[in-house]
Structure 1
């Protein structure tokens, strides 16, 4: 039975990797840093697998681990050493599908707008609007009261809409 639980844990964690990477990208603003953060979070989860309560939501547990890992990473870096570089133009050379190019351009525009939000608002928007977590779950991941989450989400959504409106 223990071997089945171990395999289930690992397969559930593997299935969650694309969502974890997307959340990591919203935290880090950089693909390479997002990959590193995802790896750190997965390593921490594997080490702490005994603390995962079977039957609970693994995604919420992993988002909390990832957020805490990001906080640890951010504290270790100095503000002066942080750089945010836009993705290179032409990342999709050879794809001449107009819809795909327009979708990538719009996604890049939204990503740049999200990157300008304060961390607290960006985390709330990423968890609720991008990842689809319920307010209660997102508040638990961020370790804040529901009212605080709602406030951050309202301000973040309004700021994001304002930035996207100005960019149009």
Structure 2
């Protein structure tokens, strides 16, 4: 594994980590932990295979393990405080906060959505990174897109959007 090949993957790893964690400090820690794990386990990478997928797999597994450890400590659900979070300045259209809505997705849906849309991975690569079948990738991606659309339209998942709120139009 050449150092330059790993360095080429850093922007993608940082993007994915930032989108997964929703926090710049936690994302930097996750990238560092991923690189440390890659250095310690470099002999497990098979030359000629996809280094990017291997690094993203390491990162995803580290993130999942960290989340499991955090579940022991009770956290305040985002739904309990989302009305207290300040909305961006401006009109209602600009107040739609995509990053906040992505963070409200379940972890399994968010991971698939980020790998396929943000990192432009194929379904097969995303399936390999996450260790799930391609059909599961497609199913989770579909549910993630539907839930994200619902959140962006102002729905809470249990009700229809409030009358008077702007709705996003689908453009193809």
Shorter-chain TM range is 0.7 to 0.9
What is the 5 A alignment of 1:87-102? Answer: none
Residue aligning to 2:158: none
Larger relative contact order (Cα-Cα within 8 Å, sequence gap ≥ 6): 1
Q: TM-score, normalised by structure 2?
A: 0.75
The normalised TM-score by structure 1 is 0.77
Query: Where does structure 1 lack aligned partners over 5 or more consecutive residues?
Result: 1-5, 90-100
Instruction: Note closer, same or farther for the CA distance 1:83–1:159 as it changes in structure 2 (3 Å cut).
Output: closer
Counterpart pick for 2:24 among 28, 31, 40: 31
Cα deviation code 1:2-51 (max 9, x no counterpart): xxxx5xx2111111111101111122121111110100000000111111
Residue number in structure 1 paired with 2:74: 80
Match status 1:46 vs 2:39:
yes
> Partner residue of 1:135?
123
For 1:128 and 1:114, locate their aligned partners in 2 and report how far apart those are by CA, in whole Å: 14
SS in structure 2 of the partner of residue 43 of structure 1 = helix
More helix by share: 1
